[in-house]
Each structure stands twice: as C-alpha cells, then as structure tokens.
C-alpha cells in the first residue's frame, strides 16, 4: 500500500511535464486553493468538536450508552461494544480510544472485541464529515443527507452485530 | 439542519453537565476542543496543499479530462447531474483514496469535489442530489482494509487480528448500500418540493 502514493505523485508530475505544463506554477496555484479550503472549514470543525466535547465531558454520552445498550443488544450488538456504536458517528479519536479499551478489558478476540472491530470500520465519523464537507461547499441546508447517513450507520451497525450474534 | 443538531448537542451537553455538577469540566472541555480543532487543521493543511496542488497539475495536463471521461459511465449513474470534469475527477480520486484507506489524500479531494459540485449546482444554499449522494457515501465508509483496527488488534495481542476483515467489509458494504438506497428514496420524496 505504501507504494501507491509515491507512484501516483510520480505519474501526475511526469504526465504534466510530458504535456508541457508548468508543473511548479500549477502546484503553487492549487496549493493556495487547498490552504483556503483548510481555513474555510476550520470554524465548522471547531463548532462540531466543541459540541462533541460537551456531550462527552458532561457524561451525557455515557448516560445515553446505558439507556441505549439494551436497544442495541436487541439487534445483536454486544453490550460492551455498545459505547462504540454510539460514539462512532461523533468522534473518530474517541471511538479509537473506546475500541482500544474494549480490546484491553474484554480481549480483542472476545465477542465484544470482534463486534467492536467490525463496528469501527462499518461507518465514518458522520457529523464531522458532514460539517466540513458542507462548509467547503458553503452550503447551509443538507436536506436529507443527515437522515440517510444515520440510517446507513444504523444498518452498518446491525450488520456488524448480526455477524457476531 | 446542522443548526438544530448542533444547538441541541450543545444545550443537552451543558444541561446534563450542570445537573451532574460537572461545570468545571465543561469549560475546560470547550476550550480544549476548540484548540484541538486548530491543531487538527494545521496537521491536515499540509495534505490540503499537497493534493490540491497535484490536482491543479492533473487539470492543466488534461489527465483530469481523461479520468472524468473514463469514470462517467460508472459514476454518472450514481451521481446524477454532474457536469464538470473537475467534479468527476475529484470525486473519483476521493473514492479511490478512501477505498485504499488513504484518508489524508481523500479528504482534500472530497472537499474539492464539494466546492466544484456547488459551483455547478442549481440548488442554491441546499445540497444537490449528487452532493447528498457523495456526502452519504463518504460518511458510510468504503475502506477495503481496516488498517487502523488491525494495528490496534495486533497491539492488543489478538490471536487472529485478520478475522475481522470480512465482517468489516460486509458491514461497510451494508452501510454504504443502505446510504445509497435511502438517498435515492429521499431524493424522490424531496423532488416535489423542488419543482414548485
């Protein structure tokens, strides 16, 4: 996998030179756009990360896990893996921390560990992705995107749960 | 939409924290996470610069045109109404990098695609159907090999770290297909609102 990136870059620059493109100037121009995008999405990213931090630090997330664990258990998600199911759409780094603690407490090869592994890969950090993608496009109304993404998350979670029922 | 979601997340968090007497942790948490966002964007900015620079070369050399032409028959069915080669190429690169698990390159190309899709959109300050579909596919993960999870499993002393590859792939396929299905379904329901 590590050869993909260098090869892609080699191809892009090589093809550019072959086509008589001023690759240096083009790179600078594009890079400037990239930096603008980075700055454009920072406020939305900050807003989302503050909200997620409040949910975590207040203890609300942990309380929700306790309430929702039996519901998740209905679809076959191990109760010890339930915290990850809930955290996954909100925070990537917090999800990784939960995954690791499940591995260390229950074992990576336990039912909770296996379910959690599949859960981790079944979806991305939905709210973070949505907030920065919408910010980059400067779009205010996401219409049904959140609903569809949350349903995707739910179905992915159910699939992961069924595997280790 | 994010207006309500974000507002409720913040209010619920603060309310619950105050009830439980965690007010001190809340202020620290807010300041730290706002700072974390700045640190994170500084870390990511390098990738943004690199991949947008390379993308410009792709466009000027005509490679973007070739990529867009090659992918149009496949992606055109999924993403209706995509007009420019810039959108098509950026989406192709984002989806490919995502499948390979190269998130550092996938995100800048995904945002580039969103910017470009917005420029050709007739939907004003709302997402176009193609943008919704692209968002949902990005949110539902299409990574083929869960490398981070495998590394963590090995580190935790798993006897069969690779046992989760197939279940993960199935779960992510289910989530992506569900996302695509609901996007198409909701788009049909939403279309009436847009005709008026």
**B positions 76-95 inside 8 Å of A (CB):** none
Residue in B17, B112, B138 nearest the CB of A129: B138
Q: CA-to-CA distance for A36 and B45, rounded, in angstroms?
A: 9
Q: CA-to-CA distance for B39 and B5, rounded, in angstroms?
A: 24
Calculate helix-pair angle for B23-61, B103-119, nearest 10 degrees.
70
- Tally C-beta pairs within 8 A across A and B: 349
Q: Which residues make beta-bridge pairs with B126?
A: A141
Name chain B contacts of A119, Cβ cutoff 8 Å.
Answer: 171
DSSP-derived letter for residue B163 is G
Q: Which two tokens stand for residue A16?
A: 């550019």
Residue in B13, B50, B171 nearest the CB of A55: B13
Name chain A contacts of B105, Cβ cutoff 8 Å.
Answer: 5
Q: Are the C-beta atoms of residues A130 and B139 closer than 8 Å to each other?
A: yes
What kind and span of H or E run contains A55?
Answer: helix A23-57
pTM across the whole model = 0.92
Q: Are the C-beta atoms of residues A68 and A82 closer than 8 Å to each other?
A: yes
Distance (Å) of CA B4 to CA A146, B1, B8, B98, B171: 12, 6, 6, 29, 29
Interface mutation target, options B27, B60, B119, chain A, most CBs of A under 10 Å = B60
Per-residue pLDDT, B193: 65
Name chain A contacts of B157, Cβ cutoff 8 Å.
Answer: 108
**A positions 36-75 inside 8 Å of B (CB):** 37-39, 41-42, 45-60, 63
Mean pLDDT value across chain B: 92
Q: CA-to-CA distance for B79 and B96, rounded, in angstroms?
A: 15
Mean pLDDT computed over B78-105: 92
Contacts of B159 (CB under 8 A, 6+ apart): A109
pLDDT in tens, B6-59: 999 999 999 999 999 888 899 999 999 999 999 999 999 999 999 999 999 999
In terms of Cβ atoms closer than 10 Å to its own Cβ (0-12, 13-18, 19+), residue A23 is: buried
Q: Are the C-beta atoms of residues A79 and A69 closer than 8 Å to each other?
A: yes
Contacts of B185 (CB under 8 A, 6+ apart): none
Model confidence at B195: pLDDT above 70: no
Task: Identify which of B108, B107, B96 has the alpha carbon closest to the alpha carbon of residue B144.
Answer: B96
Per-residue pLDDT, B1: 72
Q: Quick one: closest CA in A to B27, which residue?
A: A54
Q: CA-to-CA distance for A112 and A95, rounded, in angstroms?
A: 14
Contacts of A14 (CB under 8 A, 6+ apart): none
Model confidence at B194: pLDDT above 90: no
CB contact under 8 Å between A31 and B164, yes or no, is no
Q: Are the C-beta atoms of residues B142 and A152 closer than 8 Å to each other?
A: no
Q: CA-to-CA distance for B152 and B157, rounded, in angstroms?
A: 9
Question: Which residue do the tokens 């090995």 mark?
Answer: B154
pLDDT in tens, A45-76: 999 999 999 999 999 999 998 898 888 888 88
Q: List the pLDDT tens digit at each of the 165 positions of chain A.
A: 678 889 999 999 999 999 999 999 999 999 999 999 999 999 999 999 999 999 999 999 999 988 988 888 888 899 899 999 999 999 998 999 999 999 999 999 999 999 999 999 999 999 999 999 999 999 988 899 999 999 999 999 999 999 888
């Amino acid at each position: 996998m590590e050869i993909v990136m260098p090869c892609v870059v080699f191809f892009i620059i090589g093809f550019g030179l072959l086509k008589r493109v001023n690759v240096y100037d083009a790179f600078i121009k594009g890079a400037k756009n990239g930096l603008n995008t980075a700055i454009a999405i920072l406020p939305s990213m900050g807003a989302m990360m503050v909200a997620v931090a409040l949910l975590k630090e207040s203890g609300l997330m942990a309380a929700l896990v306790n309430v929702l664990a039996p519901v998740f258990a209905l679809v076959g998600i191990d109760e010890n893996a339930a915290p990850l199911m809930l955290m996954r759409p909100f925070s990537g780094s917090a999800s990784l921390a939960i995954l690791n603690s499940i591995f260390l407490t229950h074992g990576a090869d336990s039912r909770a560990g296996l379910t959690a592994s599949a859960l981790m890969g079944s979806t991305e950090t939905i709210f973070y992705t949505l907030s920065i993608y919408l910010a980059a496009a400067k779009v205010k109304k996401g219409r049904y995107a959140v609903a569809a993404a949350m349903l995707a998350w739910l179905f992915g979670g159910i699939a992961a749960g069924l595997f280790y029922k | 939409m994010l207006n309500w979601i974000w507002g409720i997340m913040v209010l619920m968090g603060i309310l619950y924290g105050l009830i439980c007497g965690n007010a001190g942790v809340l202020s620290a948490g807010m300041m730290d996470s706002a700072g974390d966002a700045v640190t994170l964007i500084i870390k990511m900015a390098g990738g943004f610069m690199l991949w947008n620079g390379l993308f410009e070369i792709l466009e000027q050399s005509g490679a973007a045109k070739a990529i867009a032409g090659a992918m149009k028959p496949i992606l055109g069915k999924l993403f209706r109404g995509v007009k420019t080669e810039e959108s098509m190429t950026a989406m192709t690169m984002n989806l490919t990098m995502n499948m390979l698990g190269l998130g550092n390159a996938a995100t800048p190309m995904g945002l580039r695609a969103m910017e470009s899709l917005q420029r050709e959109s007739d939907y004003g300050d709302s997402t176009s159907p193609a943008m919704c579909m692209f968002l949902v596919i990005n949110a539902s993960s299409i990574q083929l090999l869960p490398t981070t999870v495998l590394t963590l499993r090995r580190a935790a002393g798993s006897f069969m770290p690779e046992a989760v590859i197939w279940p993960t792939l199935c779960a992510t396929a289910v989530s992506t297909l569900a996302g695509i299905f609901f996007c198409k379904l909701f788009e049909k329901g939403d279309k009436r609102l847009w005709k008026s």
